[in-house]
Amino acid sequence: MMNEIPYKIYLDENEMPTQWYNVRADMKKKPAPLLNPGTGQPMTEEELRHVFCDELVKQELNETDRFIDIPEEIRNFYKMYRPSPLVRAYCLEKKLDTPAKIYYKFEGNNTSGSHKLNSAIAQAYYAKKQGLKGVTTETGAGQWGTALSMACSYLDLDCKVYMVKVSYEQKPFRREVMRTYGASVTPSPSNTTNVGRKILAEFPDTNGSLGCAISEAVEAATSQEGYRYVLGSVLSQVLLHQSVIGMESKIALDKYGIKPDMIIGCAGGGSNLGGLISPFMGEKLRGEADYRFIAVEPASCPSLTRGVYAYDFCDTGKVCPLQKMYTLGSGFMPSPNHAGGLRYHGMSAILSELYDQKLMEAVAVEQTSVFEAAEIFARSEGILPAPESSHAIRVAIDEALKCKETGEEKTILFGLTGTGYFDMYAYAAYNDGKMTDYVPTDEELQRSFDSLPKV
């Protein structure tokens, strides 16, 4: 069997993971607790319950249970689009003429086009189980809102999405996918919330921002009976749900006795990377195996490689709890030429702590080199990758080319988080030779660090 590795390694239904893996259980030093921005004290379960569903609050605070059962209804939903394919990139290897063995786990095989559905269905399920009427959220370009609307429609749950106004107007396709799945999509800022009305009064022509959309979504959830707020990345519960990616990968690789030397993923808020590496990181933390883990971020929004490890707001509206993380400051805005996604100012608390303990590496890459990698990948493997995913492709290719120089037959696994069909303006800029790179100056970053909360 060892020599007959198929192009795609699938799992049978009875091999699918039945539990999520909670990497915090194996961390000797745990991520720092969420703090109440008003009191500076750790957020209590009670306080978090005003915003999030009860079961999700428990998962957010759970640092001790190594495994958490995936409820049967969620496993059934997963069966519609999972296992996601684990592909041996034979064609890419050939194109690069590398002795490296490259595998990728492809999460773009569902209508939402990304891994976000793995957590959307879990969050919607627990809201439904609690007897809630619906959930609210924000979305920028729309990947998370799309995933959540699919999950809510499956469970017959109301879904209210606040979409950053400029995306609502300029990116109508994901908006229409959301509406097709029954979600109500409101351009933010809107006059449906106090915070939205206040911002509109002050800045009538604003294009909106993610921070503002978060503030509106939180207000909509906390001011209406039977609603809670849900978030698509950054939180530890989201990493937990995304561990299904890593669990499937590990089961599939173990079947063929394959052990990756390095595992690479793009990092926005850290959920796909955290999910992919979790079970492998667990082995490393327990001293059972060693791997290199590499987080890839945009050079224009470099939270890990140039940020500070400090308590910060998770949103620009400053309504969410404070989290200790690698951050560029909640006021940081990537330059307007930034087209490649992954524009979040902070990073998952779990990944931040693992990075701080030097258990994970990070690299920042510039967007033209990311799109160059996307083009190589699309032409050799056939899949048109999301710009976000292409950050991981860039570093996987770079590592494979290093193997070509040294002659080492390293095994590389990377996360291919999604497809890029709704990112064609960014591809157009690249194809027209109009895409530029931008790296923030130290002074720019310092201005943003100066406004970090003093905790």
| Residues at the contact surface with ligand PLP, assessed by CB under 6 A | 114, 116, 143, 233, 266-272, 342, 386, 388-389, 417-418
CA atoms of 178 and 156, how far apart (whole Å): 14
Supply the minimum distance, in Å, between the C-beta of residue 89 and ligand PLP: 18
Report the residue number, 401 or 424, with the smaller CB distance to ligand PLP: 424
Report the residue number, 85 or 268, with the smaller CB distance to ligand PLP: 268
CA atoms of 360 and 375, how far apart (whole Å): 27
CA atoms of 420 and 90, how far apart (whole Å): 22
Determine whether 65 is exposed, middle or buried from the number of CB atoms within 10 Å of its CB (0-12, 13-18, 19+).
middle
Report the residue number, 352 or 417, with the smaller CB distance to ligand PLP: 417
Supply the minimum distance, in Å, between the C-beta of residue 15 and ligand PLP: 25
Report the residue number, 128 or 394, with the smaller CB distance to ligand PLP: 394
Residues 6+ apart with CB under 8 A from 318: 37, 330
* Closest residue by beta carbon to ligand PLP: 418
Supply the minimum distance, in Å, between the C-beta of residue 137 and ligand PLP: 13
Q: Report residue 343 as tokens.
A: 């524009």
Task: Give the DSSP per-residue string, 205-227.
Answer: T----HHHHHHHHHHHHHTSTTE
Supply the minimum distance, in Å, between the C-beta of residue 332 and ligand PLP: 16
Supply the minimum distance, in Å, between the C-beta of residue 111 and ligand PLP: 13
- Residue in 285, 283, 226, 229 with CA at minimum distance from that of residue 260: 283
Handedness of CA 233, 238, 239, 243 (dihedral sign): negative
C-alpha pair distances (Å), 158 with each of 117, 128, 134, 179: 16, 10, 4, 12
Question: Any bridge partners for residue 327, and if so which?
Answer: 308
Is 331 within 8 Å of 444 (Cβ atoms)?
no
Is 363 within 8 Å of 294 (Cβ atoms)?
yes
Report the residue number, 329 or 385, with the smaller CB distance to ligand PLP: 385
Q: Report residue 314 as tokens.
A: 């998770």
Report the residue number, 108 or 187, with the smaller CB distance to ligand PLP: 108
Supply the minimum distance, in Å, between the C-beta of residue 238 and ligand PLP: 7
Report the residue number, 93 or 366, with the smaller CB distance to ligand PLP: 366
Supply the minimum distance, in Å, between the C-beta of residue 209 and ligand PLP: 17
Report the residue number, 195 or 240, with the smaller CB distance to ligand PLP: 240
Supply the minimum distance, in Å, between the C-beta of residue 5 and ligand PLP: 26
Is 108 within 8 Å of 419 (Cβ atoms)?
yes
CA atoms of 436 and 283, how far apart (whole Å): 40
